[in-house]
Structure 1
């Protein structure tokens, strides 16, 4: 006799339908409507709309569009808002109290609808994330985590990072004569291992953390298709659940890592709420390796494509720290960021009204001829390479900048010293993300 499974309870069905409805509404407000607007604006020649759409294709055409925007002046007025490409204007947007994180759509009817329909899991561009909070909350969150990223703390990690890089390259020795994807085998594994050790993540969990980070990377973007939106939210939900379990484990078995310290402070009543703790821990964990993956991949590609510059640093290893700065300048891991004007102000000689959005093109500021001579040239000896704004500026300057610099220097030096004849193979693929810029796949033969 065949047994039939009991049908789902009406209440469970109702909750599922409710979640699906909210998901569709949130996607429509946050991505669907903006996508339609961008498509129309791009069709009418709006350069910012074209930049956003081209950015999702993962091609170098994005830099051609940035230069086209720059040609119109230091501040481009689009149908969306303003676009700053000059070094001075971008720095002003990032450091001035006239601008803050957030979007005009956060207010009004669409904002209320978006908040009602938003997923309940944490999101990197939703409060209380450090990316979108402002003082005094931002100051409090940041103060609790800065001590692990000081220059002194990072330098103590250098020897361990060198060991990790050497172990990874040792593991590739048997595959050195056939193509290997450097992103999956090296660029991603090195920084995720380092940040996992800092944050007390067990070795058997690190592959999951890497998977979460890669799946959730598009969450920073605008204009996601519904399928991508759903997959990103599923990844964020899984990451949120895993993070809750990990924090609970650290409560029972605290170590000397940063998260254990944050949990201890929380329990003393002096630190973060549970939601704030999850948001801060999740962002530090993901941001602690995602952008460094891009830095390593972009740096490897630049050195490969410029053998004369590679020969310079081989002859003078003291140039390795500057190689990192020049890679960050010319091909930054984060292409752009956005701010909203909180009051009427003047930017690059133009009036900007309160509530206006300004997109700061980090990749444009880093190629400003007023600051960098021959800015499109990769020059490992560039004297002012460190004047780039790849790590943002002001109160939202990247917490992990020193860690990323150290990992970039160690990681690039190690792979080129071990495999000086490394050859990139056809099939490299850029990430299809508008804000983060890096390689999704970078096939190479280490010993041709």
Structure 2
């Protein structure tokens, strides 16, 4: 281990681990979610406690927002910016960062110029460029590919030896989105498992307070992926394809083409948005339907409910649980003053279960009339670019899964991902009778919500 790497871990995560641990021991509710494994496994009671204290709750770490109106206001307000100000970091962290600058060639999802931590005018330019190629029409054109890839993966599952449980994440929920995003990025399919490996190791980088081992694994994965993508950009400049990245490489909006770091930041975010969150949607959605067979029956009786069902899954188990904002001027949120420089955590997972917006919020209901009011894709200027693709993959992937395997059943202990910001499963053991197709039902109108 290098002293530079150790120093960067201390500045970015080591000090934070101490601060979080101290806040947790003093009863801070936000720190409880970050430090207590049981609270992380089921954060919703803690969200309720925070929400009961008001629209904004000042904690030992930062201000917390859990109510739906407060979180919506924060995400949409131009009084808040993304990214952190180094001047707000503890003294020792600032000094260490000044001495051990990051490798400029590595661009993670929380490193500028990533759209996650970029503000206008740069954010406006990057988003406009991506929107020119990642259009609703372009996403809809992917429907056929998603259908094909889904069929291929389900065929492979059906050909497995019968009897023994299989892991739904490894055999399906992770492979479908990574295959689709590989095609979007122009990445060869034989790189699929490598990207899965990099994505799994890099996912914790969205969290604060990583262990040194997690940090080292994330940095290594990001370095390897960055090196590969730089070579990929060079290939696409020489031999462009019909994929979105080929178009981005050659796109010029009048102010010049994107440089390699900008391309890496954008493609890295597309990879995270189009892969990481969709894996969680497919896995959590499948578990919800296996645990709620009456909801499966509603969907079998009326397939027109599937789009709403996907939104209800996103509401009930948001793949991204929280995001942070920094007040760039004094402002007001739901009648509470927020001073310039204050950091606020917008707890999306809690906002999606606000009882003032969603009736009986802890009940999973595929017919919920206002399911689409969830904030799982954020809101405002940073609304998720991959929202349409995630919905498309969620609808096709889950509908086809349960149409093919009508007796899909949980077959052992589930294992949640160890990440805090991203919520989902990394192991879902299931069984099904590969010899018996799901019963054929005639789709028709279901009960009125």
TM-score range, shorter chain: over 0.9
Q: For the residues of structure 2 that align with 1:136 and 1:269, how far apart are their CA atoms?
A: 13
- Report the counterpart of residue 10 of structure 1 in structure 2: none
- The count of corresponding residues between Structure 1 and Structure 2 is 429
Kindly state the Cα deviation for residue 192 of structure 1 after the two structures are TM-superposed: 0.8
Comparing 401-410 and 342-351, the one that deviates more: 342-351
Q: Is the 8 A contact 1:106 1:112 kept in 2?
A: no
SS of match in other structure, 1:276: helix
For 1:366, the equivalent position in structure 2 comes to 352
Distance 1:398 1:219 in 2: 18
Q: What does residue 105 of structure 1 align with?
A: 86
Alignment-derived partner of residue 380 in structure 1: 366
- TM-superposed CA distance for 1:160, in Å, is 1.4
CA offset at residue 105 of structure 1?
3.5
1:74 equivalent in alignment to 2:55: yes
TM score, norm. by length of structure 1: 0.92
- Between 143-152 and 245-254, the greater mean CA deviation after superposition: 143-152
Q: Do residues 171 (structure 1) and 156 (structure 2) align?
A: yes
Q: In 2 relative to 1, CA 272–111 (structure 1 residues): closer, same or farther, beyond 3 Å?
A: farther
Q: Give the superposition deviation at 1:147.
A: 3.5
In structure 1, distance between residues paired with 2:71 and 2:373: 13
Q: Describe the SS at the equivalent of 1:219.
A: helix
Query: Which of 334-343 and 62-71 deviates more?
Result: 62-71
Per-residue CA deviation, residues 61-105 of structure 1 (Å, 9 max, x unaligned), is 211211111121221110111110111100111010110112243
Cα distance change, pair 238–58 in 1 and its aligned pair in 2 (3 A): farther
Task: Work out whether 1:313 is the aligned partner of 2:289.
Answer: no
Gaps of 5+ in 1: 1-16
Matched-pair contact (CA < 8 Å) for 2:34–2:40: no
2:323 touches 2:348 (CA, 8 Å); kept in 1? Answer: yes
Instruction: Pick from 419, 428, 440 the counterpart of residue 414 of structure 2.
Output: 428
Instruction: Supply the distance in 2 between the matched residues of 1:116 and 1:363 (Cα, whole angstroms).
Output: 37
- The alignment status of 1:61 with 2:31, answered yes or no, reads no
Aligned ranges 1:274-353 → 2 under 5 Å: 274-353=260-339
Question: RMSD of aligned C-alpha atoms?
Answer: 1.8
2:118 is the counterpart of 1:136: no
Partner of 1:145: 130
8 Å Cα contact 1:86/1:368 also seen in 2: yes
Q: By how many angstroms is 1:150 displaced?
A: 2.7
Q: Which of these residues, 44, 65, 83, is aligned with residue 64 of structure 2?
A: 83
Which whole-Å CA distance do the structure 1 matches of 2:175 and 2:317 have between them? 21
The answer to whether residue 184 in structure 2 is matched with residue 207 in structure 1 is no
2:255 and 2:188 mapped to 1: Cα distance?
27
What is aligned with 1:48? 30
Counterpart for residue 259 of structure 1: 245
Q: CA deviation at 1:225?
A: 0.7
Asked if the contact 2:82–2:119 (Cα under 8 Å) also holds between the matched residues in 1, the reply is yes
Structure 2 unaligned residues grouped into runs of 5+:
435-449
Say whether the 8 Å CA contact 1:58–1:430 is kept in structure 2.
no
**What residue in structure 1 maps to residue 443 of structure 2?**
none
TM-score (structure 2 length as normaliser): 0.92
Q: CA deviation at 1:51?
A: 1.5
RCO comparison, higher one (Cα < 8 Å, 6+): 1
Q: Tell me the distance in 2 between the aligned counterparts of 1:257 and 1:278.
A: 15
Contact kept, 8 Å, 2:310 with 2:394, in 1: the verdict is yes
The reply on whether 1:243 has 2:225 as its aligned counterpart is no
- Residue 141 of structure 2 aligns with which residue? 156
Secondary structure at the counterpart of residue 134 of structure 1: coil
1:356 positional shift: 0.8
Contact kept in structure 2, 1:58 and 1:433, CA below 8 Å: no
